Amino acid sequence: MDLEEAKEFKERCTQCAAVSWGLTDEGKYYCTSCHNVTERSKEVINTGDIPNTKIQAINRGLKRKRKFEKGWDWYVCEGFQQILYQQAEALKTLGVGPELKNEVLHNFWKRYLQKSKQAYCKNPVYTSKRKATVLEDNPSHSDWDSEPDLLSDFSCPSFVESGTDSKPDGHTQKPFPISRTSQSETASICSGSLDGVTYSLQKEKGIVKMTVPRTLALCYLSLLWQRETITLSDLLRLVEEGHIPYIHAFQRFPEEMKLYGRDKGIFAIESWPTYEDIYKKTIEIAKFLDLPRFPDITEDCYLHPNILCMKYLMEVNLPDEMNDLTCQVVKMTGIGEVDFLTFDPIAKMAKTVKYDVQAVAIIVIVLKLLFLLDDNLEWTLSNIAEKYNEKNKEDKPWFDFRKWYQVMKRSIDEKKQKWEEARAKYLWKSEKPLYHSSIDKGVVYKRREMVVNLQKQFSTLVDSVPTVEKKRPSSFQFNWTEGDSTRTCFHGHGLQGILKKKGQSLTTKNSLYWLSTQKFCRSYCKHVTTYEESNFSRSYQFIINLFSFLLRIKTSSLHEEVSLIEKRLFKAKYSKTKKKSRSRKGRK
Amino acid sequence: MSDFSEELVRSKTEDEQEESCMFSGTGMSFPWLQKHIETVATGGKKEKDFAQTTSACLSFIQEALLKHQWQQAAEYMHSYFQILEDSDSYKRQAAPEIIWKLGSEILFYHPKSNMETFNTFADRMKNIGVMNYLKISLQHVLYLLHHGMFEDANRNLSHAETWRYGEKSASQEVLINLIQAYKGLLQYYTWSKNKMELSRLDKEDYAYNTAFQNMLNHSGKMSVNLCTLIQTPGVWDPFVKSYVEMLEFYGDRDKAREVLTNYAYDEKFPSNPNAHIYLYNFLKREKAPREKLISVLKILYQIVPSHKLMLEFHRLLRKSEKEDHRKLALEVLFGVLDFAGCTKNITAWKYLAKYLRQTLMENHLAWVQEEWNSRKNWWPGFHFSFFWAKTNWKEDKALACEKALVAGILLGKGCRYFRYISKQDDQVIKKKIKRIKKSVKKYSIANPGL
């Protein structure tokens, strides 16, 4: 009989033409002056875009309405479950096997709930035990395809008992102790979820709290477990390009999961995920989940450096022939070994290889081996290659570093510019604004409306064709074609000009090498070395910038990775000639 | 890893600080400084990418505006609006003004924009927060006036005038006064149109009376609207001018004089040459005694010694009986000719030539020397070079003659300017040159030895 709620219904009564509506217990409108009951019910008007089945479910009164913000009772972990579900679905549409979602991620999540004592354990943190019991009783729900329904499904029984007035009082009291109900009422003032306040205050030692960035860490863990062909940098790029829900993930929660107050701090994200951060969180979560050793990364896996190097050689338009050299470096340094590559969270020093960064670092080293990159030799070699190519137009062309540099420089600058523009144009705020409390709700909504209106006005000034088209998901960012001079493809170019025969094998013409780092940091700080750009040759700077932009990582972390692999490659030299600025390198 | 990056950042900023110490005196600009300040403002906390987006967006908009790429600017504006929802309340509150400035600029120039879009935008921006209502209203009015929408502008001013929000802060009160004054200015516009009509009508005409009454109505409102603002310290030239014009029209000379005197002499008002010019012109119309006019121009002379009224000032001083006035008359002339913009002012040179002769005739050599001493280092190069002699002779012979006389008197007949002009063989002004030669011989201050 809530007259307040019926205010939004503005039609005239068919009997007496008055506009004065009340709500019946079934949620239908009735006229307060002539008591004519309409066929229209409140829910239909509010949620017109929801399929019929759901409306019926609501009309039956299965969902208990809460006073402050009409919506379902839900827990924070359910919100994360929603996000993970969306992310898993997105990965599936990107072509990842369905096992990832149904088995791996699902199991990881269950394990997480158990480890963080939220479910699947003897004393879960929630007094209601709702989730735990339901999930245990329904093993069939391991199929997440029907997840949103599943969510409502397993919350139904409890809602029926507490929500409808027809049940005798004694019955309602049983599953829901009074303390809980009152708690939920107070909590509802500060958060849409039942435990938003307690969740954000909770600081238990030894428990890794779920956060939105950590959902990505979980996704990456499952990808790693499945040895899928998506690296961490790929994953983050897909997030950035909007193919995997992240920043606006909470917007796709079911209508009835209302978010406000503390939920804002938990689910609203105002930063892009960074490689280092998600990498750290991945290890942290794997340790927290106490996961066993991951499936072996063998030579036929995508994440093996040999294959990844091939991929990145193609991506940055370098000759295929370089792959032989990368493979050699991998072999010499031993970073292609299964034990080195496979992630083992319970090992003493849990760390996982940054597969993509490592592969790229190997390419940098090979470039240094071939061209020295001292701002001198690479250009001399380019001159030779250029002359040869001019004379022998029919033959397979020699790789010309200068030409490659020109093509790459232009392409990467263009890409970077576009990337920066897209970042500057990114719209962070959600369509449904989040507010802290009912006090500022009006203000927040008004502000949102204002922004929308202004945007609408200015969008009429912009050409109807959106300048930032949504990119199709791809593991490659560049596309090289033969013929087009601005996108010349160097894949088929040869290395003859740079290599020479020595007995049976080929060696590089260039016999010099310089180490990216002479000093490694030995103190307790976690970094390996520093990268002061201006200390290095321009070619090296260019290469480092190019690759770190491709992977969206910091230049310093790529430099570190290069240094670490060099340390393995020149182990002997390191111990002997630590002080020499340039070490002469023998033939490998 | 993050420790490491922070260290890098720290070491970098330290280096830069050293740099700033080294170069701070040379007036170089340091683009990094702005960034440095921005990071300090966030208290060392890592900036969210949201903030990065908005600040990058802002610089893209500024760049686009600079290049007149209104289309691109509008595109970035679309994204920049989200700063109104920034969780940082400081930024959120500063945003409407920035958005208004950028947005109105874009809408003013954008080919697809029109009056309607601009008006909608202005109305929206007025109502974001409370601090910008008046400022935006006023700028909106100026936009409307620019497009000749007189009625709309007037209506907007009336709206703004009646707008109140709680306790007005001091700054808002000035704005309200300003808005009222603009209203007064619009009334002045109507009033002077009526005045024009009136001048065309016959006094016996029936319409004359109504028109006069009409004018009177406007003038009443106008004086109310203008009065308050004019009393607040500031530069209000157009308002003062129109107010005085109206007062004079109705013969209220005392009030007009009071307003102008207050505007010129009240120490709370910023120094404003126009205030003295208005007062001077008013007094001149009133035929005030010379002494009074001189005292007004004396102040103007201190503010703008190169003003064109200075020649008038010189004439007034020249006629004065007081000796110090006559000395000042010489000073004023030299002062005028110190300015590059006045070098070809023939009247000034004519006056100087004449007055130098007169002064020397009256045996005030000391006055001339006093003025000349500070200038003898640079005037020869500045006014009396061979180049100038040639150009002046080519462009304006009369000017060249006056200058030659001055040069001769000040530098002696040996000076290049004088020599060049005196050697010219021109039939028309042969006599004149002869006279000049004579004068120089008689009065030159430079050649007692020769």
Full pLDDT tens readout for chain A, 588 residues:
445 555 566 666 666 666 666 666 555 666 666 666 666 655 444 433 434 433 333 343 344 444 455 677 888 888 999 999 999 999 999 989 888 888 899 999 999 998 888 877 776 665 444 443 333 333 333 333 333 333 333 333 332 233 333 333 333 333 333 334 444 444 445 777 888 888 888 887 888 889 999 999 999 999 999 999 999 999 999 999 999 999 988 888 888 888 888 888 889 888 999 999 999 999 999 999 999 999 999 999 999 999 999 999 999 999 999 999 999 999 999 899 988 899 988 887 767 889 999 999 999 999 999 999 999 999 999 999 999 989 888 888 899 999 999 999 999 999 999 999 999 999 988 888 888 777 788 888 888 988 999 998 888 888 765 555 567 788 888 888 766 667 788 888 888 888 887 777 777 888 888 888 777 776 666 667 778 888 899 999 999 999 999 999 999 999 999 998 998 888 766 665 544 433 344 444
Question: Which residues of chain A neighbour B77 with C-beta distances below 8 Å?
Answer: 458
pLDDT at A489: 87
User: How many domains are contained in chain B?
Assistant: 1
Nearest CA in chain B to A526: B1
A453: contact with B, CB 8 A cutoff: yes
pLDDT > 70 in chain B, percent = 87
A450: contact with B, CB 8 A cutoff: yes
CA distance A426 to chain B (A): 7
In SS3 terms, chain B reads as CHHHHHHHHHHHHHHHHHHHHHHHHHCCCCHHHHHHHHHHHCCCCCCCHHHHHHHHHHHHHHHHHHCCCHHHHHHHHHHHHHHHHCCCHHHHHHHHHHHHHHHHHHHHHCCCCCHHHHHHHHHHHHCCCCCCHHHHHHHHHHHHHHCCCHHHHHHHHHHHHHCCCCCCCHHHHHHHHHHHHHHHHHHHHHHHHHHHHHHHCCCCCHHHHHHHHHHHHHHHHHHHHHHHHHHCCCCCHHHHHHHHHHHHHCCCHHHHHHHHHHHHHCCCCCCCHHHHHHHHHHHHHCCCCHHHHHHHHHHHHHHCCCCCHHHHHHHHHHHCCCHHHHHHHHHHHHHHHCCHHHCCCHHHHHHHHHHHHHHHHCCCHHHHHHHHHCCCCCHHHHCCCHHHHHHHHHHCHHHHHHHHHHHHHHHCCCCHHHHHHHHCCCCCCHHHHHHHHHHHHHHCCCCCCC
Do the domain assignments include residue B185?
A: yes
Give residue B288's pLDDT band: very low, low, confident or very high (50, 70, 90).
confident
How many residue pairs from chains A and B have C-beta atoms closer than 8 A? Answer: 103
A115: contact with B, CB 8 A cutoff: no
Mark which residues 514-533 of A lie under 8 Å from B by CB: 525-527, 530
Do the domain assignments include residue B418?
A: no
Q: Count H helices, E strands: chain A? A: 24, 7
pLDDT at B31: 52
Q: What is the pLDDT of residues B188-242, one digit of tens each?
A: 888 888 888 888 877 777 777 777 787 887 788 888 888 888 888 889 998 998 8
Nearest CA in chain B to A276: B1
Using alpha carbons, list the distances in angstroms from residue A473 to A241, A248, A408, B117: 8, 18, 22, 38
Question: Do B81 and A454 lie within an 8 Å CB cutoff?
Answer: yes
A271: contact with B, CB 8 A cutoff: yes
Question: Do A420 and B71 lie within an 8 Å CB cutoff?
Answer: no
Interface test with B, best of A270, A436, A444, A461 (most B CBs within 10 A): A461
CA distance A530 to chain B (A): 8
Nearest CA in chain B to A460: B112
pLDDT over 60 (residue B450): no
CA quadruple B134, B140, B141, B146: dihedral positive or negative?
A: positive
Question: Which residues of chain A neighbour B74 with C-beta distances below 8 Å?
Answer: 458, 461-462
B113: contact with A, CB 8 A cutoff: yes
pLDDT > 90 in chain B, percent = 22
B89: contact with A, CB 8 A cutoff: no
pLDDT at A11: 66
Nearest CA in chain A to B72: A462
AA identity, residue A129: K
pLDDT at A507: 79
pLDDT over 90 (residue B344): no
A417: contact with B, CB 8 A cutoff: no
More confident residue, B163 or A588: B163
CA distance A269 to chain B (A): 9
Nearest CA in chain B to A451: B81
Question: Which residues of chain B neighbour A272 with C-beta distances below 8 Å?
Answer: 49
Nearest CA in chain B to A271: B49
Kindly report whether the global pTM for this prediction surpasses the value 0.95. no
Do the domain assignments include residue B214?
A: yes
The residue segments making up the domain with residue B239 are 167-266
pLDDT at A414: 93
Nearest to A47 by CA among A31, A37, A38, A58: A58
Report the relative pairing of strands A505-508 and A512-513 from DSSP bridges.
unpaired
Question: Do B56 and A554 lie within an 8 Å CB cutoff?
Answer: no
Question: Which residues of chain A neighbour B112 with C-beta distances below 8 Å?
Answer: 460-461
pLDDT at B159: 85
Do the domain assignments include residue B230?
A: yes
Nearest to B85 among A272, A280, A429 (CB): A429
pLDDT at A62: 40
CA distance B52 to chain A (A): 8
| Distance (Å, whole) CA B414 – CA B368 | 19
pLDDT at B169: 62
Nearest CA in chain A to B121: A454
Question: Which residues of chain B neighbour A556 with C-beta distances below 8 Å?
Answer: 4-5, 8
Question: Do B77 and A458 lie within an 8 Å CB cutoff?
Answer: yes
pLDDT at A382: 92
pLDDT at A31: 65
CA distance B192 to chain A (A): 39
Question: Which residues of chain A neighbour B5 with C-beta distances below 8 Å?
Answer: 554, 556
pLDDT at B9: 39
pLDDT at B364: 86
Do the domain assignments include residue B398?
A: no
User: Which DSSP string do the residues of A493-533 spell out, in sequence order?
Assistant: -B-TTTEEEETTEEEES--EE--S-S----SSSS------G
B374: contact with A, CB 8 A cutoff: no
Mark which residues 241-270 of A lie under 8 Å from B by CB: 270
Nearest CA in chain A to B69: A462
Question: Do A463 and B71 lie within an 8 Å CB cutoff?
Answer: yes
Do the domain assignments include residue B191?
A: yes
Q: Are A317 and A489 a contacting pair, CB within 8 Å?
A: yes
Nearest to A527 among B4, B71, B82 (CB): B4
Is ipTM beyond 0.90?
Answer: no
Question: Do B81 and A455 lie within an 8 Å CB cutoff?
Answer: yes
Question: Which residues of chain A neighbour B136 with C-beta distances below 8 Å?
Answer: none
Nearest to A428 among B50, B76, B124 (CB): B50
Do the domain assignments include residue B251?
A: yes
Residue A31 phi, psi (nearest 5): -80, 130
B1: contact with A, CB 8 A cutoff: yes
Question: Do B84 and A530 lie within an 8 Å CB cutoff?
Answer: no
Do the domain assignments include residue B10?
A: no
B202: contact with A, CB 8 A cutoff: no
Question: Do B50 and A557 lie within an 8 Å CB cutoff?
Answer: no
